[in-house]
Amino acid sequence: MAAHVCAWGANLEERVSLTILCVLVIVAAVCAARGRRRPARGLAVFCGVLVIAIGCGPVPAWLLDSLEKPFENEPQIQWGTRNAIVLLGAGTFRVGDAVEPGLFSYPRLVETTQLYQACRKSDGDCKILVSGGDARHHGSPEATVYQRELVRLGVAKDDVLIEPRSMNTWQNAQFSRTVLSQYAPDRTVLVSSAIHLRRSLLYFTHFGMAPIPVRADDLQATASPLPMAYNFALTDFALHEWIGIARYHVYNALGWNPARINPGDA
């Protein structure tokens, strides 16, 4: 099977919680229509409990904690002679005639710039690799849009490498390997949102890379006496990551992923 088998079916997976609730409500309605009142009542109660558990915060808090906790503390980085900071894209928006970085991109851009400045103080050679294609068909790859923003933040344009083909995290890892092998860094840092790092590291490791993960932002659920749409959104974000991780392991077991690359392999 093709190398992009771990790509997202994003439209469905970004609405997991709503999809589950809708299915349960439909099943409950069918049971009620057929006179099966006990199953209908049970499903109705379960739906109510699920709405409260998600919307009031406990479910997204638990899901997020299991993804983000390993990356709470920023690592102490010993910069080498040649250093690469890999910045994963977080989408783009079209605003008028311009294409701008997406909502979650600015913490990543700022963190990457700060790491670049710290790296430069070490007297080592420092490059930023921005990975991301035009997945949303806005007319400009994420990589070139983010490169422009990094230059505005003070990064030298010659120090920003771009990988403009990838359409998902799997391809971020796959295509970044090619660019990094040409630069041959002795230290690689991976910057993304905390919620995204666990899956990203899994994919990058599959392609023979062992970057140091650095979180740019951290999402937290909001405890509320009433259900909040925000908590439903966080639940979907977290499930998106867990489904991607599960899919990776399933595809590995079925032999659908390309062969794993060990560090140091050509």
d(CA 197, CA 190): 8
Please give the backbone phi and psi of residue 76, each rounded to the nearest 5 degrees, phi first. Answer: -85, 115
Is 60 exceeded by the pLDDT of residue 215?
yes
Is 70 exceeded by the pLDDT of residue 8?
no
In this predicted structure, what is the pLDDT of residue 58? 96
Is the pTM value of this prediction over 0.85? yes
In this predicted structure, what is the pLDDT of residue 125? 96
Over residues 23-35, mean pLDDT? 80
**Residue 55, burial from CB neighbour count under 10 angstroms (0-12, 13-18, 19+):** buried
In terms of CATH architecture, what is 76-215? 3-Layer(aba) Sandwich (3.40)
- Tokens 């991301």 sit on residue: 132
Kindly list the distances between the CA atom of residue 211 and the CA atoms of 11, 77, 252, in Å, as whole numbers in the listed order.
29, 11, 21
Q: What is the pLDDT of residues 74-118, one digit of tens each?
A: 999 999 999 999 999 999 999 988 999 988 899 999 999 999 999
Per-residue pLDDT band at 22 (split at 50, 70, 90): confident
Average pLDDT, the chain: 89
Domain boundaries, the chain: 10-68+220-254, 76-215
Over residues 58-71, mean pLDDT? 96
Q: What is the pLDDT of residues 160-212, one digit of tens each?
A: 999 999 999 999 999 999 999 999 999 999 999 999 999 999 999 999 999 99
Kindly list the distances between the CA atom of residue 228 and the CA atoms of 14, 30, 45, 52, 60, in Å, as whole numbers in the listed order.
17, 28, 19, 9, 11
Is 50 exceeded by the pLDDT of residue 45?
yes
In this predicted structure, what is the pLDDT of residue 175? 96
